Structure 1
Amino acid sequence: MTEPAPARGTAALARYLRTETVGGVVLLVATALALLAANSPLGGLYAGVRDFAVGPAALHLDLTVGEWVKDGLLAVFFFVAGLELKRELVVGELADRRTAALPVLAAFGGMVVPAIIAFAVGHGAPGAGQAWAIPVATDIAFALGVLSLAGSGIPAAARVFLLSLAVVDDLGAIIVIAVLFTAGLSPLPLLAAVLLGAAYWFAQRRRITTPWLYVPLAVATWLAVHGSGIHATIAGVALGLLTRVRADPGEDAAPSVRLEHRLQPWSAGLVVPVFAFFAAGVPVNGAALGAVFHDRISIAVMAGLFFGKFIGIFGTSYLAVRLGIGARPGGVTWRDISALAVLGGVGFTVSLLIAELSLTGDAAERAKTAVLIASALAALIAAALLLRRGRRTARELN
């Protein structure tokens, strides 16, 4: 018997949450290992591996291991993000305007307010022209990991709200990366990328399923985008958005669902933790931490993530409900939304990526340390709020 569509959708959401939850735990472990390696006698070896260059120079691919992870491996994460975004927009929670209104508006506020705060605090400091973008992103794997560990008493609708908010947040971060970090466009590689993307779309339309076509197309598209001057991870997003999300009659699942099912565990359990391992290895001794709290860009990042995310998500949600353009999910209280708004300040993966793209040298290290501090603080306070909610729910049930 064919499983009803709503049941399949619920199962897909549950599987997504489980995968991202496990990925969040692995992400924490990878971050801890990176910090231990960078601040131990192994620090030289760690930096040597991260900065070791490999690849053909003739193709401008003589990248360091850290750059291969940032530009290449992370494209898989962005491909999965593109698949999830396309599915949510076409057949998921964001397809219904009324249901989508609140998380979409909350995500928008949660990007704009942190950017404004970071820009205002860091204005005039070296690197502030792009560093304001660092706190715009929420890390879904990290956030769901915290939610799973501490949010047993929170309604399921609140989890869907957080997931929908994070999907829109991902779109915003993708746009920021594409706009801010395109140094200069090379027309021929860009044209090649467009043609390869069109070939991918055409193959989807023709219902071609063989990986012998899609894998070379994906690699060639990545190479073309990399050569065009646009950040190479955008290739993953573009191909994800070009993937078919509606199943044909008699088809068990659409290509986007099949690909997400296969790649999401690798993305959450391997790609993002490996990126975190090479990105989060920053010095955390007294001098390094002191420098963070005396650096305006670092203070701007922390203020944007911790205060900006809360004000943006909660404030926009409250205004949207009061003005009648959004509605709280069933069973979700304002205390739940406030806890989720604090959790939105966990801006790990994409914030670290933007820090590496927007700054260099010690300034990038300080900004990444600021991301770690703000994300840890947001995670701890959100966990406390969620645990308090769980105890209240348990008392009500008893």
Structure 2
Amino acid sequence: MSPSTRAPLLGRGSWTETRRIADILRKETVGGALLLAAAAIALVWANSPWGAAYETLRDTRVGPASLHLDLTLGTWAADGLLAIFFFVAGLELKREFVAGDLRDPRRAALPIAAAVGGMAVPALFFVLFNLGRDDDALRGWAIPSATDIAFALAVLAVISTHLPAALRTFLLTLAVVDDLLAIVVIAIFYTADFSAGYLGLSLVPLAVFGLLVQRRIRSWWLLLPLAALTWVFMHESGVHATVAGVLLAFTVPVVRSAAAGGPEAGPGLAEHFEHRFRPISAGVAVPVFAFFSAGVAVGGLSGLAESITDSVAVGITAGLVLGKAIGITGATWLVSRFTRAELDEALGWPDVVGLSLLGGIGFTVSLLITELAFGLGTPTYDHAKVGILTGTLLAALLATVILRLRNRRYKRIYEDERADFDRDGIPDVYQRETVDDRADHRRDRDGGPPPGRTAGGSAEG
């Protein structure tokens, strides 16, 4: 492809995807506010004179002991509710790569590379700060690798920046790929007492669930018990039960809706389930998990100083702030260097750095990995949670400074996009780029359809 037709990095996607992602981000922003509130309540309660009551509530066991499901409320939140979170993340990821803008490998390369860089470099920072320790500190190497999209969007809502749609889309896509990589890490490196028999049993209800959804069956009284059985057997296998959420999501078919380009196809089950379960994930599952996981008693100023200076906390903080910024920005630069693609003319590298710092806001998955790495109630576990909170706050503050400094530019981009609406309600700039993209695909594929589409214009998966 010639330089003139090469897609710019962080350029605008299609108008359909921009509208869809804007709707997703609005829901996640509300969820982020609830997450912040739940975490704040947990921190205040755990460090109040009634802190013992918080621990008692978190450690209360419920569930049938005969099925090994007499779990604490904290464990139910981490293993059960977060399975809903990963189910929604899996639906979003599959839809992006089957029917979204990321079906084009040129657009998919950047968020994948950024997610990998944003996980590898923070892990390296953690390891460097904890080499030589004779305890199990290195088990926490993956803690600073996660990005919490809900928390990041809550920060954006608070600072009220006109972040361009392309940057918001990139942040969401990066976080979703990050979540998938995190669940792979959890499945491989944080599995204890593995049972191949139970893992095999989990594949039976999973397969039946997949067969039903492929036949477009939506009956909850059929699908929900199968999903629950898959979760139970996955839990008993020793593989973290949240993996079941991703596997279930990957069985759900994606069919492009008429609004997204298919001539007559209706919304697919992935879109239907995502619409139903995202509010539950963002509004209930993640905030409840944050409430049961964020409550760490720091023990006053002396205890806080001890936690913050522990090499585990320092490694997590450095990973979330420096590691994420270097990893995401560096990966973006490498993609630019090796593909010879340039940033969109409206953006600059400071925007990438600011976005990378937003990626350093780690919370939900970081807390989950902390529990798996160190176990509840250990000093290292508490120090790691302090490191997560410290790194998240520092990353949020630095991102706020950079993005606010760039907000005048963002506001101008926003006003330019809104100024050229025509009668069909679609900004002209998106229509022009859609025509250009189609021309690129014709040149690249000698007249073939865009990747991921059938000759009729729809895509299925």
Identify whether the pair has TM-score above 0.5, normalized to the shorter chain: yes
Residue 77 of structure 1, aligned match among 77, 85, 90: 85
Asked if 2 retains the 8 angstrom alpha-carbon contact of 1:111 and 1:309, the reply is: yes
Which residue identity is paired with 1:300?
A: G
Residue 233 of structure 1, aligned match among 213, 236, 242: 242
Q: How does 1:127-142 map to 2 (within 5 A)?
A: 127-142=136-151
Asked if 2 retains the 8 angstrom alpha-carbon contact of 1:151 and 1:390, the reply is: no
Asked if 2 retains the 8 angstrom alpha-carbon contact of 1:83 and 1:243, the reply is: yes
Partner of 1:299: 314
Aligned with 1:176: secondary structure?
helix
Aligned counterparts of 2:248 and 2:344: Cα–Cα separation in 1: 32
Q: Structure 1: which 4+ aligned runs deviate by more than 6 Å?
A: 395-398
Q: CA RMSD in A?
A: 1.9
Asked if 2 retains the 8 angstrom alpha-carbon contact of 1:155 and 1:332, the reply is: no
Residue 272 of structure 1, aligned match among 286, 294, 297: 286
Indicate whether 1:368 and 2:385 are aligned: yes
| CA deviation map 1:53-111 (0-9, x unaligned) | 11111111111111111111111111111111111121123211111212211111111
Aligned counterparts of 1:159 and 1:185: Cα–Cα separation in 2: 39
Residue 14 of structure 1, aligned match among 19, 22, 33: 22
Partner of 2:193: 184
Partner of 2:267: 253
**Bigger CA drift: 321-330 or 124-133?**
321-330
Partner of 1:107: 115
Residue 199 of structure 1, aligned match among 200, 203, 208: 208
Partner of 2:347: 332
Aligned counterparts of 1:81 and 1:196: Cα–Cα separation in 2: 21
Partner of 1:283: 297
Aligned counterparts of 1:56 and 1:171: Cα–Cα separation in 2: 30
Partner of 2:69: 61
Q: Give how far 1:7 is off.
A: 5.7
Asked if 2 retains the 8 angstrom alpha-carbon contact of 1:54 and 1:65, the reply is: yes
Partner of 2:323: 308
Partner of 1:122: 130
Asked if 2 retains the 8 angstrom alpha-carbon contact of 1:140 and 1:163, the reply is: yes
Aligned counterparts of 1:151 and 1:96: Cα–Cα separation in 2: 32
Which residue identity is paired with 2:201?
A: A
Asked if 2 retains the 8 angstrom alpha-carbon contact of 1:183 and 1:230, the reply is: yes
Aligned counterparts of 1:316 and 1:9: Cα–Cα separation in 2: 24
Indicate whether 1:88 and 2:96 are aligned: yes
**Bigger CA drift: 337-346 or 200-209?**
200-209
Asked if 2 retains the 8 angstrom alpha-carbon contact of 1:75 and 1:234, the reply is: yes
**Bigger CA drift: 145-154 or 206-215?**
145-154
Aligned counterparts of 1:144 and 1:92: Cα–Cα separation in 2: 21
Give unmatched runs, 5+ long, in structure 1.
1-5
Which residue identity is paired with 1:254?
A: G
Aligned counterparts of 1:102 and 1:294: Cα–Cα separation in 2: 35
Q: How many residues are treated as equivalent by the alignment?
A: 393
Asked if 1 retains the 8 angstrom alpha-carbon contact of 2:99 and 2:256, the reply is: no
Aligned with 1:323: secondary structure?
helix
Asked if 2 retains the 8 angstrom alpha-carbon contact of 1:70 and 1:275, the reply is: yes
Q: Give how far 1:123 is off.
A: 1.7
Partner of 2:444: none
Indicate whether 1:28 and 2:4 are aligned: no
Which residue identity is paired with 2:225?
A: P
TM-score scaled by length of structure 2: 0.81
Asked if 2 retains the 8 angstrom alpha-carbon contact of 1:158 and 1:332, the reply is: no
| CA deviation map 1:334-387 (0-9, x unaligned) | 111110011111011000110111013121111011101100111111112111
Asked if 1 retains the 8 angstrom alpha-carbon contact of 2:140 and 2:370, the reply is: yes
Which residue identity is paired with 2:148?
A: D
Aligned counterparts of 1:369 and 1:19: Cα–Cα separation in 2: 28
Aligned counterparts of 2:385 and 2:329: Cα–Cα separation in 1: 25
Indicate whether 1:343 and 2:362 are aligned: no
Partner of 1:3: none
Which residue identity is paired with 1:283?
A: A
Residue 223 of structure 2, aligned match among 199, 214, 225: 214
Aligned with 1:331: secondary structure?
coil
Partner of 1:352: 367
| CA deviation map 1:145-181 (0-9, x unaligned) | 2223335333211111111111111111111111111
Q: Give how far 1:329 is off.
A: 4.6
* 1:330–1:244 distance in 2 versus 1, CA, 3 Å: farther
Residue 379 of structure 1, aligned match among 367, 387, 396: 396
**Bigger CA drift: 353-362 or 180-189?**
180-189
Indicate whether 1:164 and 2:164 are aligned: no
Aligned with 1:293: secondary structure?
helix
Asked if 1 retains the 8 angstrom alpha-carbon contact of 2:18 and 2:165, the reply is: no
Asked if 1 retains the 8 angstrom alpha-carbon contact of 2:17 and 2:101, the reply is: no
Q: Give how far 1:230 is off.
A: 0.4
Q: Give how far 1:247 is off.
A: 4.7
Asked if 2 retains the 8 angstrom alpha-carbon contact of 1:204 and 1:243, the reply is: yes
**Structure whose alpha-carbon radius of gyration is higher:** 2
Which residue identity is paired with 2:350?
A: R
Aligned counterparts of 2:357 and 2:216: Cα–Cα separation in 1: 43
Q: Give how far 1:9 is off.
A: 3.6
Aligned counterparts of 2:239 and 2:267: Cα–Cα separation in 1: 32
